[in-house]
């Protein structure tokens, strides 16, 4: 649990969401001393600490109460919730707001030279992904009998490396698929960044600070719409 009296917010250290997370905090008026390499950045004008971690770790940190708030892609949130559900670990969070950045699709893809394929093609195939829970659910729903190869990174090279026949990965601009000669198929999940809160947070000071920050967040969103 976060036993300090400072509000702890987890954000992605480096990746698709990190720039937008930092400018969001700035727009909320949270002044930070973000020195490179630092895991924790202390706000200089509010009782807030920002933890910069791998995006995949953010839902778990918030679910376990190590952090009070987190900014994370829905893709990672849904995957962690399903995984924890399966092993019987706490997986509740309070979703405070959907954010207007980090849009991407979790989609199937396969080598371009194979051309257009129907869902049946995936029967008996191996699909590499970082999102095994979401993929397995999709395969079950669609009655596809494929095997899932779990990779935490470099999923896009799996077909070329002979590790899998196809992949299921995030697509944002499509540049990664293009660069790896892969063709995009069905979208399994659409995702945006969202702000989550520990489900059991009951510290009055922290809750009132969050209540002060949230309207500013709405203001940020409306100003952009
Ligand atoms: C995703 C995905 C691809 C890339 C796709 O990774 O795994 O590598 O983004 O984006 P594009 O369509 O714009 O090329 P992500 O940034 O989520 O990082 P991670 O895999 O390290 O978590
Ligand atoms: Zn990740
Ligand atoms: Mg990636």
Q: What is the pLDDT of residues 74-127, one digit of tens each?
A: 999 999 999 999 999 999 999 999 999 999 999 999 999 999 999 999 999 999
Listed in sequence order, the residues at least 6 apart from 95 whose beta carbon sits closer than 8 Å to its beta carbon are 194, 195, 196, 197
Ligand 1 pocket check: which of 170, 171, 174 to mutate, most ligand atoms within 8 Å of Cβ?
170
Sorting pLDDT into bands at 50, 70 and 90, what band is 218?
low
pLDDT at 134 over 50: yes
Q: For the segment 138-149, what is each residue's pLDDT rounded down to a tens digit?
A: 999 999 999 999
CA of 170 relative to ligand 1 center, distance in Å? 6
Listed in sequence order, the residues at least 6 apart from 59 whose beta carbon sits closer than 8 Å to its beta carbon are 70, 72, 76, 77, 80, 81, 93, 196
Query: Which residue has the CA at smallest separation from atom 7 of ligand 1?
Result: 170
Question: In the chain, what are the domain boundaries?
Answer: 7-102+193-224, 104-191
**What is this structure's pTM?**
0.92
Which is nearest to 202 in space by CA: 51, 52, 94?
Answer: 94
What CATH superfamily classification does 7-102+193-224 receive?
A: Periplasmic binding protein-like II (3.40.190.10)
- Answer yes or no: is the C-beta of 182 below 6 A from any ligand 1 atom: no
Q: Do the first three CATH levels of 7-102+193-224 and 104-191 match, i.e. the same topology?
A: yes
Joined tokens for residue 208: 């009132």
Q: For the segment 30-48, what is each residue's pLDDT rounded down to a tens digit?
A: 998 777 668 999 999 999 9
CATH for 104-191? 3.40.190.10
């Amino acid at each position: 649990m976060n036993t300090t009296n400072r509000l702890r917010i987890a954000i992605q250290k480096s990746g698709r969401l990190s720039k937008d997370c930092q400018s969001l905090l700035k727009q909320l008026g949270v002044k930070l001393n973000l020195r490179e390499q630092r895991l924790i950045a202390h706000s200089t004008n509010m009782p807030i600490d920002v933890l910069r971690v791998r995006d995949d770790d953010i839902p778990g940190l918030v679910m376990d109460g190590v952090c009070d708030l987190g900014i994370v892609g829905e893709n990672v949130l849904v995957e962690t919730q399903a995984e924890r559900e399966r092993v019987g670990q706490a997986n509740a969070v309070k979703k405070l707001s959907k954010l207007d950045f980090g849009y991407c699709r979790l989609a199937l893809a396969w080598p371009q030279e194979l051309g257009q394929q129907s869902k049946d093609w995936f029967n008996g195939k191996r699909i590499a992904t970082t999102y095994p829970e979401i993929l397995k659910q999709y395969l079950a729903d669609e009655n596809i009998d494929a095997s899932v190869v779990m990779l935490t990174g470099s999923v896009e090279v799996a077909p070329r490396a002979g590790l899998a026949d196809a992949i299921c990965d995030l697509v944002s601009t499509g540049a990664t698929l293009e660069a790896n000669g892969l063709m995009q198929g069905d979208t399994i999940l659409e995702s945006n960044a969202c702000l989550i809160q520990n489900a059991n947070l009951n510290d009055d000071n922290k809750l009132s600070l969050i209540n002060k920050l949230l309207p500013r967040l709405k203001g940020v969103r409306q100003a952009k719409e």
